[in-house]
Amino acid sequence: MTTNRRRIFQTLTIGAACSGLSASGQEPEPGVDALRSVATAHGVQLSDERLRVLRPVLNRRQPQSQALRDFAIDDHVAPTQGIIPDK
């Protein structure tokens, strides 16, 4: 039952992301000042002109990124970096 509920929720979440809406409702879109802070924290220097170019691109990605964040994964699942075990 739990698994089914989880599946239903995740299907709805992914569906929302694919239709361009965030599952958790309307998220505030980060402005240029916020992006500058993130870029600086990541050690990247970008001009305000570049940040203005990137802002709509990043905002467009937001629903899909959020859907990925919201996707429930069991704690025992570790990341796979692409190397497929020889079995």
Mention every residue, 6+ apart, whose C-beta is less than 8 A from residue 14: 67, 71
Helix (H) or strand (E) holding 2, with range, is helix 2-18
Q: Is 69 in the site for other proteins (CB under 8 A)?
A: yes
Q: Is 1 in the site for other proteins (CB under 8 A)?
A: no
Query: 52 in helix, strand or coil?
Result: helix
Q: Is 57 in the site for other proteins (CB under 8 A)?
A: yes
Q: Is 31 in the site for other proteins (CB under 8 A)?
A: no
Q: Is 38 in the site for other proteins (CB under 8 A)?
A: yes
Pick from 27, 52, 51: nearest CA to 40: 51
Binds other proteins by CB under 8 A, chosen from 7, 24, 29, 48: 7
Cβ proximity of 10 and 71 under 8 Å: yes
Positions touching other proteins (CB under 8 A) are: 7, 10-11, 14-15, 17-20, 35, 38-39, 42, 44, 46, 50, 53-54, 56-58, 60-61, 64-65, 67-69, 71, 73, 77-84, 86
